[in-house]
Amino acid sequence: MSNVLIEDGPRFGAHRRTDWLLDPAVTYLNHGTVGAPPRRVLDFQRRLQDDIERHPARFMLRELADPTGAAEGEPPRLRQALAELAPFVGAAAGDLVFVDNITAGANAVLRSLPLGPGDRIAVTSLGYGGVTNAAAYAARVAGADLVTIELPGPGAPAHEYVERIVAGLGGTRVLVVDHMTASTALILPLADIARAAHDRSVIVLADGAHVPGNIPLDIESLGVDFYAANLHKWAWAPRSSGLLWAAPEHHAVLHPPVISWGLDNGMAAEFDLLGTRDPSTHLSAPYAVELLRAEGLDHLYAYNHGLAWWAGQHLAERWGTMFATPEAMIGAMVAVALPASLGASAADAETVRVALDAQKIEAPIYPGPDRLSTRVSAQIYCDRADIERFADAVAALAGC
């Protein structure tokens, strides 16, 4: 893997760090955790906030949203922003609403579905903890059952994830499943999973927290019922901004966790105005995606994937650990096992993280049943030297 080149040198790599506010002394390999918007996006957001403050009442009450669902003329600002974002995620704008983040989107869906005693919500062992908790709470309130389908970790072939989920779907009403898993950084075969679930009359809520800006996304082709995603992770939007997509047949049942003036006036009316809040993150998202496109999406995806794929192989070789994840299941993140000598517990993970932090290296460290693991996020401001520095630091801690 080499840097994508332009006429006067590499387009991506360490020299791009000045486009971000990230501390230049830190080797930052954790872009996926909460994202990091480029300076230009933050500048755009600040100009937008200034525009709001010039006439807050007009902007927030008359231009931002339509809680009646019946206004005519120019669409409100949030609807315009979603129309600009819709092609990027492969969806019709009318099926999209903004949410603060994936967790808010999952809560909206799980609390809206008419669940009751005898119903079953299924999550997976690779699911994000916050979303799994939302499913647990929804099941508790409804008197429904929550089950966890055990999935293999990195290294298994894609079809095995489908087979494990199918085997665990008996009696399930709702399946919550990741498109790209969080700590294990796997792209799951979501379309195949959704097809199998629908064959069994199971509603599918997909967690796409890490997908927009990480890999190409075409929501409508996936065949799910609901899709929630973050824009502030890989799509460069300011924190916090996310999207929730609902298939048209589910619009009527869907409500936000916070009920306000738009109640019963349609999905857009209910979600677009949840009270007084700063809308600049959502309204900045189209500009962030515009900057992504300006980089050349194909080049950006290829660079980040290539660096992540190389990182997986290099780190495993340097540390003497196993790396067998199929390349097709990796986007811009990769999970790698750490040397066994570093332990396996949560306390061991924190010890390693603190030691790395002291060396100005930022990468998440996860406990596991047998050993620790890490997840490397590749972004256009990263390069091989960052991975090599991380590899050497862990090897020194492990004495290998």
Q: For the CA atoms of the chain, what is the radius of gyration?
A: 21
H-helix or E-strand spanning residue 177: strand 174-178
This prediction's pTM: 0.96
Q: What is the C-alpha to C-alpha distance for residues 167 and 145, in angstroms, rounded to an integer? A: 17
Q: What is the C-alpha to C-alpha distance for residues 187 and 45, in angstroms, rounded to an integer? A: 31
| pLDDT score of 331 | 98
Instruction: Identify the band that residue 10 occupies on the pLDDT scale cut at 50, 70 and 90.
Output: confident
Residues 146, 248 within the same domain: yes
**pLDDT tens column, 64-118:** 999 998 888 899 999 999 999 999 999 999 999 999 999 999 999 999 999 999 9
Give Cβ neighbours of residue 126 (< 8 Å, ≥ 6 apart).
151, 153, 178, 181, 182, 183, 184, 186, 188
Tokens at 237, concatenated:
């939007």
For the chain, what percent of residues have pLDDT higher than 90? 96
Instruction: Identify the band that residue 1 occupies on the pLDDT scale cut at 50, 70 and 90.
Output: very low
Average pLDDT over residues 287-294: 98
What is the residue range of 359's domain? Answer: 5-41+297-398
Domain membership flag for residue 156: yes
Residue 100 · residue 114 · CB < 8 Å: no
Residues 89, 131 within the same domain: yes
pLDDT tops 70 at residue 4: no
| pLDDT score of 3 | 54
Average pLDDT over residues 146-151: 98
Residue 215 · residue 331 · CB < 8 Å: yes
Average pLDDT score over the chain: 96
Residue 318: which CATH number?
Answer: 3.90.1150.10
pLDDT tops 60 at residue 146: yes
| pLDDT score of 6 | 42
Count of CB atoms within 10 A of residue 161's CB?
25
Domain membership flag for residue 9: yes
Residues 237, 316 within the same domain: no
pLDDT tops 80 at residue 242: yes
Domain membership flag for residue 56: no
Residues 321, 232 within the same domain: no
pLDDT tops 70 at residue 46: yes
Q: Find, among 378, 332, 395, 316, the residue nearest to 14 by Cα.
A: 378
Residues 172, 83 within the same domain: yes
Residue 390 CA, distance from chain mean position: 24
Domain membership flag for residue 284: yes
Residues 21, 106 within the same domain: no
Residues 248, 105 within the same domain: yes
Compute the half-sphere exposure of residue 120: CA atoms within 13 Å on the CB side of its CA: 12
Cα 86-268-195 angle, rounded to 5 deg: 55
Burial pattern 228-243, b for ≥16 Cβ within 10 A else e, equals: bbbbbbbbbbbbbbbb
**pLDDT tens column, 311-345:** 999 999 999 999 999 999 999 999 999 999 999 99
Domain membership flag for residue 185: yes
Helices (H), the chain: 31-34, 39-54, 56-57, 77-89, 102-112, 129-142, 158-167, 190-199, 267-272, 280-295, 297-319, 346-358, 384-398
Given 262, 290, 318, the domain boundary residue is 290
Residues 20, 97 within the same domain: no
pLDDT tops 70 at residue 40: yes
| pLDDT score of 20 | 98
H-helix or E-strand spanning residue 366: strand 365-366
Residue 244: which CATH number?
Answer: 3.40.640.10
Domain membership flag for residue 301: yes
Given 290, 312, 337, the domain boundary residue is 290
Work out whether strand 9-10 and strand 96-99 pair parallel, antiparallel, or are unpaired: unpaired
pLDDT tops 90 at residue 230: yes
What is the tally of structural domains in the chain?
A: 2
| pLDDT score of 70 | 87
Instruction: Identify the band that residue 2 occupies on the pLDDT scale cut at 50, 70 and 90.
Output: very low
| pLDDT score of 72 | 85
Q: What is the C-alpha to C-alpha distance for residues 36 and 244, in angstroms, rounded to an integer? A: 21
Residues 284, 328 within the same domain: no
Three-class SS of residue 340?
Answer: helix
Domain membership flag for residue 110: yes
Given 290, 320, 343, the domain boundary residue is 290
pLDDT tops 90 at residue 278: yes
Average pLDDT over residues 287-293: 98
Residues 217, 318 within the same domain: no
Domain membership flag for residue 49: no
**pLDDT tens column, 355-376:** 999 999 999 999 999 999 999 9
Residues 129, 101 within the same domain: yes
pLDDT tops 80 at residue 5: no
Residues 113, 241 within the same domain: yes
